[in-house]
Amino acid sequence: MDIFVQQIINGLVLGSIYALVALGYTMVYGIMGLINFAHGEVVMIGAMVAITVIKLLADSGLPGVVIVLIGLFAAAVACMAVGFTIERVAYRPLRKAPKLAPLITAIGVSIVLQNVAMLVWGRNYHSFPPILPTSQHEILGATITSLQVAIVLIAALTMAGLMLLVHRTRLGRAMRATSENPAIAQLMGVDIDRIISLTFVIGSALAALAGLMVSANYSIAHYYMGFILGLKAFTAAVLGGIGNLAGAMLGGILLGLIESLGAGYIGDLTGGFLGSHYQDVFAFFVLICVLVFRPSGLVGEKVAERA
């Protein structure tokens, strides 16, 4: 029983991080119909910048939480700048081009960011300094650290804030209008260039937060970490129904739970034939099943007809 609870807790923590990253994919897809393949690398840049700043300040005598907040701020600024630039340079000129062209530039951007990170931070793993106060709590026979509690709570609050932004503010209404029909939105006086830029900036800020969370949770960051994280988060976004905010959150949490429960129990289920290193297969297999039986994702409304 306690293993089950433990896996649920791990899944929730992992899932909240996936959900934050998935929101970045889903927002961009909803507005432009484009897979922003480079989003995972933005998360990586966020993690790297945060770790660098936190390492610099680690001996300054400031309280740990303040240092982490400064690190988060620096990461958010860096990621927003990167996200803004990516959209301007690699996507905006291709808005009317064949659909595969921006996909290729996205891959190009992702290769560039990865290698810039390798030039700046090297090939080594960077460890997260132990500056946060940690305490362990017992719930139903499983342990949860204060950091994990904080990750889940902050992720939930951020997502609630994003929902408010999209559904209650003027900017949010403009975003929804653009995603519905850019041409008509423009006729109604929406500056769609500005809205698209802002969407990238907001998504990148979420990516910075997710990057900080990943590196704090696993105490490690690496120039190559963005790739698999981005892949998983994109899977989560599709699982929920890409283009749908609530779907991205649901997909993220579900994928986190599926992965940790799958990894925990796959050995028992198959009599030891398949081990926990099949964790990734599990995630992709579930994804394929969902798409085959419900091609629009769990909460997506329309069936995709875009080529």
Place of tokens 């959150």: 249
Pick 100 or 187: Cβ nearer other proteins: 100
Rounded to a whole number of angstroms, the minimum distance from the CB of residue 6 to other proteins is 24
Rounded to a whole number of angstroms, the minimum distance from the CB of residue 25 to other proteins is 11
Pick 100 or 188: Cβ nearer other proteins: 100
Rounded to a whole number of angstroms, the minimum distance from the CB of residue 107 to other proteins is 6
Residue 259 near residue 201 (C-beta atoms within 8 A): no
Burial of 83 per CB tally in 10 Å (0-12, 13-18, 19+): buried
B/e letters for 247-260, b = 16+ CB within 10 Å, e = fewer, are bbbbbbbbbbbbbb
Rounded to a whole number of angstroms, the minimum distance from the CB of residue 205 to other proteins is 24
Rounded to a whole number of angstroms, the minimum distance from the CB of residue 179 to other proteins is 15
Residues in touch with other proteins (CB under 8 A): 29, 35, 89-90, 93-94, 96-105, 107-112, 114-116, 118-119, 231, 234-235, 238, 242, 272-275, 277-278, 280-281, 284-285, 287-288, 291-292, 295, 304-307
Pick 90 or 196: Cβ nearer other proteins: 90
Residue 251 makes CB contacts below 8 A (sequence gap 6+) with 18, 19, 22, 235, 236, 237, 238, 239, 240, 241, 297, 298
Pick 170 or 306: Cβ nearer other proteins: 306
Residue 83 near residue 42 (C-beta atoms within 8 A): yes
Position 43, amino acid: V
Pick 108 or 130: Cβ nearer other proteins: 108
Burial of 168 per CB tally in 10 Å (0-12, 13-18, 19+): exposed
Rounded to a whole number of angstroms, the minimum distance from the CB of residue 81 to other proteins is 18
Residue 3 makes CB contacts below 8 A (sequence gap 6+) with 142, 264
